[in-house]
Amino acid sequence: MKTNQHTIKKAVTISGIGLHTGVPSTMTFKPAKTNHGFKFQRIDLEGRPTVDADVDNVVDVSRGTTIEQGEARVHTVEHTLAALVGLEIDNVLIEIDGPEPPIMDGSSMDFVRILKEAGVEEQNVPRNFFDVDSAIHYSEPSKNIEIAALPLEDYRLTVMVDYNSPVLGSQYATLNNFAQFEQEIAPCRTFCFLHELEMLYKNNLIKGGDFDNAIVIVDRILSQEEMDRLAKMFNKPSISVQSEGTLNNVELRYKNEPARHKLLDLIGDLALVGQPLRAQILAARPGHAANVAFAKKIKQHLRRVVRNQVPKYDPKLPPVLDINKIASILPHRYPFRLVDKIIYLDENSVVGVKNVTINEPFFEGHFPGNPVMPGVLQIEAMAQTGGILVLNTVDNPEQYWTYFVGIEDCRFKKMVMPCDTLVFKCELLAPVRRGLAKMQGRAFVAGELACEAVMSAVLVKKDK
């Protein structure tokens, strides 16, 4: 698996009709900065609102996965997201001028093709993997659905399906590494059974469905009357079918193409966890509703782990922000610049590093002969780290001051001495509103908690 984040080199566009809405749309993939993730932008709506590809934004799983944020909704996102994950792309803005990505041929292949045409570009920031540290299980006994994530230093998926059908029977599909995705998973098309067609049609779905973008499995003999009715439904002069097989005798690309497509859907739905995963995923009879419920369970586990996790600091890895980039954001200068590097930064949290040396000016007067870093300066260094996080929420951070306005529940747990490396972690406790931010800050030395506090800050725009 790739270790650094990746985006695309240039914008690329693809057009088609939505499977369920039947509405034509044009979708443009655009490069995005590090830690951006996947976002859809409805450019056809007033204000061009965006929808984060996040499991918390899922609002419907009727034969596809639909996400919504504010006034913007995007249907059937799973095939698009699967293509991005399969190519190990992390950061993309997806502009779309309609409610649903184009279905194309019912697979992810056209998305893979256009993304490869754009070119993939490495970014100088490590990927924020979520390593599953213990087994996570999900089940629906009434439907014989079981999904599990097991610890593994890689990402592998195995899917088993059994439709009690003489045409399909039991099938399984596997993905052992992403090098297989383009050839073995991406071309596999969406499908449904004949008996589901009229139900989907009556429920205002598959308005853009056709034999060119979906496989219809026929597991019983059709009368001529039924074939005529189906031909009228799809605006075809006629249709043909073998006694058992696929409607219009569509040839499968793989004998187990349905199982492979279920694996494709699972990859796309699990992208909504919001971080690349390292785990062994085992799924029996998955579907969008179960996939999303499982993704929510993984994210809940992730939040618990992150909340209790001591940040890992590898000095060999390049920082997100080095000392020069920090200087361009924070106004502090010697001797009050107390953060050396930022090693992680997203919309809700930040991790910074301070290397404590005997040359610090405060050691000359603070306990001479027994150098101990003053607690107030530990808090100041933590507040500066949090300032980076707060400034990351505005478009032009250099135009703002960040003032430290409050501190609660401050505790010092461990003395900080020369040669110690302080690792600060600050997390927003609520979204920044009207320039006010509240954060939980913790500082660690060698994996042990040194100090902690709840800090408040305010953003104030500089006078021109």
| pLDDT, tens only, 373-423 | 999 999 999 999 999 999 988 888 888 999 999 999 999 999 999 999 999
* Residues 6 or more apart whose Cβ sits within 8 Å of residue 334: none
In 10 A of CB 357, how many CB atoms?
Answer: 10
Q: b/e map of 394-409 (b: 16 or more CB within 10 Å)?
A: eeebeebebebeeeee
* pLDDT band for position 217 (cuts 50, 70, 90): confident
Q: Which residues are catalytic?
A: 288, 366
Mean pLDDT of the chain: 90
**Calpha distance 194→4 (Å, rounded):** 44
| pLDDT, tens only, 234-251 | 666 766 665 556 665 578
Walk me through the domains of the chain, giving residue ranges and CATH numbers.
Answer: 4-126 (3.30.230.20), 136-308 (3.30.1700.10), 323-461 (3.10.129.10)
pLDDT recorded at residue 247: 62
Edge to edge, the sheet with strand 349-355 lists: 341-345, 349-355, 421-428, 436-445, 448-461, 400-412
Angle CA 335–427–449, to nearest 5? 70
3-state secondary structure at position 358: coil
Q: What is the pTM of this model?
A: 0.72
In 10 A of CB 310, how many CB atoms?
Answer: 13
pLDDT at 57 > cutoff 80 = yes
In 10 A of CB 447, how many CB atoms?
Answer: 10
